Amino acid sequence: MPGIGPRTAQRLALHLLRQPEQKIHDFSNALLNARNQVGQCQKCFHLSAEEQCEICRDSKRQKSLLCVVADSRDLLALERTREFKGFYHVLGGLISPMDGVGPEMLNITSLIKRVDQEKTAEVILALTPSVEGDTTSLYLAKLLKPFTTVTRIAYGLPVGSELEYADEVTLSRALEGRRAMD
Amino acid sequence: MPGIGPRTAQRLALHLLRQPEQKIHDFSNALLNARNQVGQCQKCFHLSAEEQCEICRDSKRQKSLLCVVADSRDLLALERTREFKGFYHVLGGLISPMDGVGPEMLNITSLIKRVDQEKTAEVILALTPSVEGDTTSLYLAKLLKPFTTVTRIAYGLPVGSELEYADEVTLSRALEGRRAMD
């Protein structure tokens, strides 16, 4: 398992062996249930135990805003900001020819269909600032433009950082992405 | 001196004592000369041995663009990107009431005068994303708006970072600062 080396594995295993049998029974069942019940939301592809996830069922959210993320971890990171009040669409990865991931392996067809049907006013692409993120953003922007306004989250200096220590690529992006102050 | 602890200090001192006398003589003179000759550019307040610094004397740069930075270290960081082709103005710090730094202690009057006289088309504020940087940016924007367009460098995800690990404030800024894709 990620982040668990041989020593931690041994510690966890010995801890489990010391537990009463009923507890281990419950734990095993919980694991099985999680595996069986947690699937994908049919609408946004976020993790969900039901056909539609909690976010997609939330009627207080803005229908006109759709945020595209690579996976559920990114969705959860954005949710933690409590800033975004629209819906999400989870791609399931990023286009990466080096790793053999083509656009047809991601939830892109469903995204286009959804934007078209729901008459989404704005699609925000929230993908990592990497070669794969840039490629996927450009690809999606091209496909989505006939249907909606496409925006991209800002890339630049992270809050609390020093200009002096920022790498050159980040500084270039920050300069290039400058905005009028209102 | 910053970044030099007692052990490094001792190593450096012993190294200097082992050098021939002439070398130490030259080194001392170089230090004295640097202290005496390096002053401030009369125009942009960057470090300079002459009345105007190399950047201000460069006739190939765009006169219409002026980038405002807190100090010379930030100017040098931006120069390393080789992206910016306008001129600079070094404030000499940021407004910080906590540290007793008021606007009158910074090179602000000269900035306004310069923007007015040179008919600068755009002033880019390149200050750190901190309370002091934000305060100073808002203060300057208010003063500069009658004369020119005021923009600010982008704050958001640094290049090469992961959305998942970005702090909430940075993610909020990245969402808030999103841009249309063209």
Q: What is the pLDDT of residue B55?
A: 95
Any idea where the domains of chain A sit in the sequence?
Answer: 59-152
Strand ranges inside A8-57, DSSP E: 39-40, 47-48
Residue B182 reports pLDDT greater than 80: no
pLDDT computed for residue A92 by the predictor:
95
The Cα A81–Cα A90 span in angstroms is 18
Class of domain B40-152: alpha beta
State the smallest CA–CA distance between residue A102 and chain B in angstroms.
Answer: 21
How many Å lie between the alpha carbon of B157 and the closest alpha carbon of chain A?
5
Using a CB-CB distance cutoff of 8 angstroms, which residues of chain A are in contact with residue B134? none
Contacts of B49 (CB under 8 A, 6+ apart): B37, B38, B39
Q: Cβ-count burial of B11 within 10 angstroms (0-12 exposed, 13-18 middle, 19+ buried)?
A: exposed
For chain B positions 57-76, those within 8 Å of chain A (CB to CB) are 69-70, 73-74, 76
Q: For chain B, say whether A157 makes contact (Cβ under 8 Å).
A: yes
Q: For residues B32 and A175, give the distance between their C-alpha atoms in angstroms, rounded to a whole number.
A: 37
Contacts of A65 in chain B (CB under 8 A): none
Beta carbon pairs, A and B, within 8 Å: 192
Phi, psi (deg, nearest 5) at residue B23: -65, -40
Query: pLDDT tens digits for A56-101?
Result: 999 999 999 999 999 999 999 999 999 899 999 999 999 999 999 9
Distance spanning both ends of chain A, measured CA to CA: 49
Q: B79 CB contacts (<8 Å, ≥6 apart)?
A: B55
- Taking CA–CA distances from B123, the nearest residue in chain A reads A180
Task: Return d(Cα B168, Cα A165) in angstroms, integer.
Answer: 21
| Residue A171 C-alpha, separation from nearest chain B C-alpha, in angstroms | 7
Q: Which two tokens stand for residue A55?
A: 């976010």
Q: Which of residues 73-92 of A touch B (CB under 8 A)?
A: 73-74, 76-78, 80-81, 83-84
User: Tens digit of pLDDT for each residue in A136-158?
Assistant: 999 999 999 999 999 999 999 99
Average pLDDT rounded to a whole number, residues B44-53: 92
Question: Which residue of chain B is at minimal alpha-carbon distance from A178?
Answer: B153
Residue B181 has pLDDT above 90, yes or no: no
Q: Which residues of B touch A161 (CB under 8 A)?
A: 128-129, 158
Residue A10 pLDDT more than 80? yes
Reported ipTM: the value is 0.76
- Residues A130 and B163 sit within 8 Å (Cβ to Cβ): no
Say if residue A122's pLDDT is above 80.
yes
Q: What average pLDDT does range B143-171 have in this prediction?
A: 92
A60's CB contacts (< 8 A; 6+ apart) are: A85
Give B73-106 pLDDT, tens digit per residue: 999 999 999 989 999 999 999 999 999 999 999 9
pTM of the model: 0.79
H or E stretch covering A88: strand A87-90
User: What's the CATH code, domain A59-152?
Assistant: 3.40.1360.10
- Looking at chain B, which residue has its C-alpha nearest residue A168? B81
CB atoms within 10 A of CB B173: 24
Confidence bin at A35 (pLDDT 50/70/90)? confident
Distance CA A95, CA A68 (A): 14
Mean pLDDT, chain B, whole residue set: 93
A-chain CB neighbours of B152 within 8 Å are 178-179, 181
